[in-house]
Structure 1
Amino acid sequence: PHLSCATHKDFGRGRPDNDLPQQNLTVSTDPFSCCAIVDLPDLIVSDACSRINNVSAMIITRDQYTNEVTGMYTVGSTLTSFPGNNLWHPDTMANVGLTPCLPISGPTANTGHTVIYTATDDCGNTSTCSFSLVVRDFVPPVAACDEHTIVSIGVDDPYDCYGPAGFQDVPPALTACEGAGVTWVKAKTFDDNSYDNCANVHFTVQRMGPYSDCIQSLNSIRGTPDCASQFPSFPSEFERAITELDSIKFYCCEVGTTQIVRLRVYQIQDNGLPFPQNVVIGPDGTPVHNECMVEVEVQDRSPSCVRRPRAT
């Protein structure tokens, strides 16, 4: 007998007919494990000549990288009626049960696990339909931050535009007493053992608004010398200070303040591509990630905020 998994009715040929509302299914792993227990879709089964005897499901799992078969699991069902059922119509509802905890599959229908429904009537006739079951990890990583971090300012960077005057003296040059020391801190510095159940993670950090006068006064046109040029360079010093990056820059003018930064933890996949092309995208089209906030106390424990002469 022939049966399609698309919504379809076929009577009078001596075999049951399956009415499955969705051919392919994508689910996420469970919140605290790297596998998914799936409540398989129920279906309506009908037969024009005899009663439905049983319906079962077979799940064929495949390796997410090689697509080779890794296991076969059988799931039973319970035959029952359903609201609005016309008892004169020879159909019944098959409530299919829960699967074992299924491993992550490949990301597409062609590389997902295969689910085969088999319906058998009292005459021994059978009919099958199948669909792809894709298991992905859409559970956000666990983000854990060092709640309070102390950062010490370093030396002046001669290749940035913090210190020299900008175009038309906006911003004005810092005086020798103000200093132009800076320091870069990697995003991972603020991490306190963040993790994902199934995948690797990538860290970024970003300064949170509202921005201080120190940040607001940074050069918004240039980020590298010639800092007084009217022609933009990307990123500008201001853009560099506020953009989400793998590391964050602190400035001498922030000494004595506490800044709030956001650590983001992205779930990444092993696809051989660099960040952000390797970030896992969730069902809503946004990156799968989590985040936490860190208070950063900016200190100056050395003469690093004394500006050294340099070319503009």
Structure 2
Amino acid sequence: SGDAFPIGITTLSYQASDGFQNSVCTFKITVIEYFPTGGSALSCRSQINLAVNADCEAPVGAGLFLLGNNYHCFDDYTVQFQNQFGFQIGPNLSSHIGQTIYAKVTDPATGNTCTTAVNLADNLAPAVTCLDTIVLPCSIPLQELDPDHLGWPQVEENCSGYTLQYSDQYVALACDDTLFNGEYSAYLRRIWLATDQHGNTSQPCRQLVLLRRFTLADLSFPPHYTDLPGQQPSLNCAAADTSPAFTGAPAIDGQPLYPFAAACEFTVQYTDQQIPFCGGGYTVLRTWIVLDDCQNLFANYVQTIKVTDKTPPTISCPGSLSVGTNWANCTAVLQLPAATYSDNCSAVTSSIHSTAGTVNGNLLTNVPIGVHVVTYRAQDACGNESQCQLQLTVYDGSPPSAVCSPSKFVSLTTTGIANINASVFNSGSSDDCGGSLTFQVRRLSDPCDLA
């Protein structure tokens, strides 16, 4: 049967059955070890070429290196490997592929040795297994056909690292193509090769990518931007991007056909009509035309893109103010400082309002004493409004008007002293803001000075 038998006696039994009874036959095989004649010297080959197998391993039995057959069983000998400097290496020899190493065969019974120079090589190329055929929409961007998107093949290499490279053949198919019955617009044939670190190159592995053809019925059109139910919000004129890259284009399987229809046999164009709106706003009526070059049919579609001013103006108020009243009527009159306004889309109209007094432009009059709030409002051309406020404090800024009697005659008491209330000297003093007045009288510095 081709089986190997060890040294010694091996008993073999065979059994045969005919359905009624069994018959057994037994015999023995005796293997006698060969003993070399004429001495125990070893003779090795001077040099051999040795290639590793699929597991990056090499057979290292003594029979590979010994010359002739006047030896014990080869298993009785030991084999060691050395580098060119005589240092022992192994048992893994993969790091020495491409080098010349030395196999030393030793007879443990006698100590006799011999040596063979071994040119160790890796002659097995990597094996590359490609992915199955892939079917994609013809609208897929060409950059998405690279292996990072589609996947890389499986590579099996026995020993070392490898480099993997590919080449592409892109073939556009005619509308009446018979190779694939007109089902595909194009195909990509990708050929893979792997080369290991020892220069072994794999057999080519061929991968096929088919780009499926579509018709106008497969088209989807971009959405409207109008704020209406079921549609996209309108765009803000402060930073409106109405380009198809943002607002969309006719597409197949989610892949836009504009500005490039890739492998699909479609021609896609559009025209815009712009209708002004309030402020800097406007509406774009975008008419798309898609031509099926294979069937000579077309479809059109009007996309509405509304650009509106949704952002109120920015406004910044002056700081808080504190003013005194006028001399005549106990109210304040002031020119209010201007606020700062800006708007991204249109001109701004502004107004000022106060919780007290009368506002005329920036002039505020008839403001009574107290703390009041002044409100600045800004409105753009589309009615968006913003406001800010400042605090205005009005205080009594005019002193009373003092009117004194030119002279008063006062009688002294028996003690020679007279007490006079200060209000006695008042002769019609008044204050613009009303209220009670406090009077004080001060004697001249020289009581005898009558001048």
Give the TM-score normalised by the residue count of structure 2: 0.30
Structure scoring higher RCO (CA < 8 A, sep ≥ 6) equals 1
User: Larger Cα Rg: Structure 1 or Structure 2?
Assistant: 2
- TM-score (normalised: structure 1): 0.41
